[in-house]
């Protein structure tokens, strides 16, 4: 059974550019969440998508957005990149029922220069 | 405010002994708790979880204990192995979806 797949694994962008990251969840998982990990802030929740609808949103500026497609694949977009956006971006997928675990992908390492 | 806290940034244990990692939370709405193991530049790997209706869950060398009145959970690893060396995160979820709130992590070092 394939795990959560995130692409690309590494990305270098320039300040002011925008970036799109992709996440393919485990087959059958309809909930996809995104997290940002930085040395100073730890693992922080960005947003969750379920059935193509954003269900929860973390405390991030509007430059961070996402979407989910009918096959449950998800993308997140960051516009007008800032140096502080450099981080490991993680995607997690899960079934949508109580008592189920979230499984993470390998992450995308974004470096903004 | 930090709703989930891991007060020990690091822990060093001898191989074969018990490792105990602790986690405290403040939000009474959390109903499911998970432990993850993480290596640098990789995604967290799920280890074990516990529902708020239980006080203990065991899976091989890993046992998680939940004390709801104290809003405290702990992960016990017995016996500890050098391959267990990693950063361990506790996470909590409420019933409003699958959003996880993470603690700051504890770096476990198991010495041979």
Over the stretch B6-35, which tens digit does the pLDDT of each residue have? 999 999 999 999 999 999 999 999 999 999
Q: Contact A56/B102, CB-based, under 8 Å? A: no
Residue A1 CB burial class (10 angstroms; 0-12, 13-18, ≥19): exposed
Sign of CA dihedral B75, A5, A57, A43: positive
A101 and B102 within 8 Å at the Cβ level: the answer is no
Q: Which portions of chain A are predicted below pLDDT 70?
A: 1, 98-99
Q: For residue A99, what pLDDT is reported?
A: 66
Query: What pLDDT tens digit does each residue of chain B (112 aa) get?
Result: 789 999 999 999 999 999 999 999 999 999 999 999 999 888 999 999 999 999 999 999 999 999 999 999 999 999 999 999 999 999 999 877 788 999 999 999 999 9
Q: What is the pLDDT of residue A1?
A: 60
Burial B76-110 (b: 16+ CB within 10 A, else e): bbeebeeebbbbbbbbbbbeebbbbbbbbbbebeb
Residue A83: phi and psi, rounded to 5, are: -55, -35
Name every chain A residue with its beta carbon within 8 A of the beta carbon of B96.
56
- Measured CB to CB, residues of chain B less than 8 Å from chain A are 31-32, 34, 36, 41-46, 49, 51, 89, 91, 95-105
B79 min Cα distance to partner chain A (Å): 24
CB contact under 8 Å between A103 and B46, yes or no, is yes
- Chain A (71-110) residues lying within 8 Å, Cβ to Cβ, of chain B: 88, 90, 92, 94, 96, 98-99, 101-107, 109
Determine the Cα–Cα distance for residues A33 and B34; give it in Å rounded to an integer: 15
Max intra-chain CA distance, chain A: 41
Please answer whether residues B82 and A15 qualify as being in contact, where contact means their C-beta atoms are separated by less than 8 angstroms. no
Interface probe for A, chosen from B32, B41, B43 (most Cβ of A below 10 Å), is B43
Two structure tokens written together for A13: 């962008």
Are B98 and A109 a contacting pair at CB < 8 A? no
pLDDT of A92 reads 96
A107 contacts: CB under 8 Å, gap ≥ 6:
A6, A9, A37, A88, A89, A90, A91, B41, B42, B43
User: Which residues of chain A does B42 touch, with a Cβ-Cβ cutoff of 8 Å?
Assistant: 106-107
């Amino acid at each position: 059974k394939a795990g959560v797949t995130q692409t690309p694994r590494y990305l270098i962008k320039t300040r002011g550019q925008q970036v799109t990251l992709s996440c393919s969840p485990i087959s059958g998982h309809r909930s996809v969440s995104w997290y940002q990990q930085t040395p100073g802030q730890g693992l922080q929740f960005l947003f969750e998508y379920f059935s193509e609808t954003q269900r929860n949103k973390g405390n991030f500026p509007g430059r961070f957005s996402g979407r989910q497609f009918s096959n449950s694949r998800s993308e997140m977009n960051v516009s007008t990149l800032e140096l502080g956006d450099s981080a490991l971006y993680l995607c997690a997928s899960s079934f949508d029922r109580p008592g189920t675990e979230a499984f993470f992908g390998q992450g995308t390492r974004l470096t903004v220069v | 405010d930090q709703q989930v806290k891991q007060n020990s940034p690091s822990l060093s244990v001898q191989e074969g002994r018990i490792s105990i990692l602790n986690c405290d939370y403040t939000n009474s709405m959390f109903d499911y708790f998970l432990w993850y193991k993480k290596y640098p530049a990789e995604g967290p790997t799920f280890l074990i979880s516990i529902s708020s209706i239980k006080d203990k869950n065991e899976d091989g060398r890993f046992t998680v204990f939940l004390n709801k009145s104290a809003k405290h959970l702990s992960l016990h690893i017995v016996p500890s192995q050098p391959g267990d060396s990693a950063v361990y995160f506790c996470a909590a979820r409420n019933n409003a979806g699958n959003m996880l709130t993470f603690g700051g992590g504890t770096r476990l070092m198991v010495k041979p």
